[in-house]
A = this chain, B = another copy of it.
Amino acid sequence: MKLIIFLAMFSVSHLYSSELLKQSQAIFQAIPTSYEKLNKIIDNPHNRLSKEKVELGKMLFFEPRLSKSGFISCASCHNLSLGGVDGLSTAVGHRWTKNPHHLNSPTVYNAVLHKMQFWDGRSKDLEDQAKGPIEAGPEMAAPKELVVSKLKSIPEYVKLFKKAFPKDANPNFDNTAKAIAAFERTLVTPSRFDDYLHGNQEALRKKEKAGLKKFINKGCASCHSGIGVGGSMKQMFPLVKPYKYANIGDFNKSKPGMVKVPGLRNIALTGPYFHNGAVWSLEEAVEIMGETQLGQTLTEIEVSDIVAFLKSLSGETPKINVPTLPRYTKSTPLPEL
């Protein structure tokens, strides 16, 4: 009799588990394990990936001379050692200028899985996005003509551009952004949650599954869904209740409060949180989301379970060798501090 009860409980729990997995597979999407399938997701028909392009893009990502000062590279704010962010509330750029809209640097890891880029979602892809910070005055402050003339002045870059973009005679700004985007497209970080979505129910611990269930049932997953666990839409913030930091980072004058729903992969590594980086604790961020977006006061245990689930989204970062960048020449425009 005891055995029967035990078996019945076991199968109910197993059934319940399978249910959660099925539900999750319907809402989210795993990062594929096969290179071919992954490539279909990260490739861009208008910017086909090649080894040469990715390698050049990596160099350019680390290249401080793309900035006017020669001191700031993409990697300065999208620090690959720190989850692809700078760990600051407000991004800082050329001449120590803080982002005028108090915006927080979003991560480059898994950004390829998003349907839009920037906190206001104004860019449709990484190729378009990569141009923004290079030219923006408070970021790298380098007009595209300056960028191109720096690259053209360095024979190694001219060669590498020729290899990456055989149809184009010389480095140009579009290709600069394309190469950087190609590198960024490789920055995906599969996590234990992907193992789970692939069907391995042991990949998540009990508390993490409880958190996943709450993440779905409370409504978090109605925005944070898909392969990016977010990153596919914009949403009002705050939506249903006021938010104490709403006055910070309300940057979109045409549609006040419309903010890109960030992807939550590696969220435990990319604090501080929200588009304005106002909150340092992941627990507090979850609590606030419950209040402002779902109109619910989450209990301590609910928050703690959801945070446990979110931590399972911390993925394995690709191994990246520090690139060696070529030397300037006599015709390279000098840095302007």
How near does chain B come to A150, taking the closest CB pair, in angstroms?
11
Q: What residue in chain B is nearest A90 (Cβ atoms)? A: B337
Q: How many residues of A contact B (CB 8 A)?
A: 42
Note all chain B residues with C-beta closer than 8 A to A335. 87-89
Contact yes or no, A325 B92, CB < 8 A: no
Contact yes or no, B269 A323, CB < 8 A: no
Note all chain B residues with C-beta closer than 8 A to A334. 280
Looking at the complex, which of A11-19, A64-72, A223-231, A233-241 is the stretch in contact with chain B? A64-72
Of the candidates B70, B86, B322, B324, the one whose C-beta lies within 8 Å of that of A322 is: B322
Within 8 A of B (CB), among A301-337: 317, 319-325, 327-328, 330, 334-335, 337
Contact yes or no, A325 B82, CB < 8 A: yes
A327 to B324, CA, bound (A): 28
Contact yes or no, B268 A327, CB < 8 A: yes
A residues touching B (Cβ–Cβ < 8 Å)? 59, 62-65, 69-71, 76, 79-83, 86-90, 92, 95-96, 98, 268-269, 271, 280-281, 317, 319-325, 327-328, 330, 334-335, 337
How near does chain B come to A280, taking the closest CB pair, in angstroms?
7
Note all chain B residues with C-beta closer than 8 A to A70. 86-88
How near does chain B come to A46, taking the closest CB pair, in angstroms?
28
CB-CB under 8 A for A322 and B325, given A98-B337, A337-B92: no
Contact yes or no, A320 B317, CB < 8 A: no
Most buried by B among A71, A90, A320, A330: A71
Q: What residue in chain B is nearest A320 (Cβ atoms)? A: B322
Determine how many copies of this chain the complex contains: 2
Contact yes or no, B86 A64, CB < 8 A: yes
Complex A-B, nearest 5 residue pairs according to Cβ-Cβ distance, in ascending order: A96-B96, A320-B322, A81-B325, A80-B322, A95-B96
Note all chain B residues with C-beta closer than 8 A to A330. 280-281
A97 to B76, CA, bound (A): 17
Note all chain B residues with C-beta closer than 8 A to A280. 328, 330, 334
Of the candidates B59, B87, B92, B317, the one whose C-beta lies within 8 Å of that of A324 is: B317
A269 to B324, CA, bound (A): 10
CB-CB under 8 A for A321 and B323, given A71-B88, A79-B64, A337-B98: no
A-B contact pairs, 14 of them (CB 8 A): A62-B81, A64-B87, A65-B87, A69-B92, A71-B88, A71-B92, A76-B76, A82-B325, A90-B337, A98-B337, A268-B327, A271-B328, A319-B321, A320-B321
How near does chain B come to A334, taking the closest CB pair, in angstroms?
7
Contact yes or no, A327 B64, CB < 8 A: no
Q: What residue in chain B is nearest A314 (Cβ atoms)? A: B327
How near does chain B come to A63, taking the closest CB pair, in angstroms?
8
A327 to B269, CA, bound (A): 6
Note all chain B residues with C-beta closer than 8 A to A92. 69, 71, 337
How near does chain B come to A319, taking the closest CB pair, in angstroms?
6
Of the candidates B86, B323, B337, the one whose C-beta lies within 8 Å of that of A81 is: B323
Q: What residue in chain B is nearest A318 (Cβ atoms)? A: B322
Q: What residue in chain B is nearest A98 (Cβ atoms)? A: B337
Note all chain B residues with C-beta closer than 8 A to A90. 337
Note all chain B residues with C-beta closer than 8 A to A83. 327
A63 to B65, CA, bound (A): 21
CB-CB under 8 A for A64 and B82, given A90-B337, A95-B96: yes
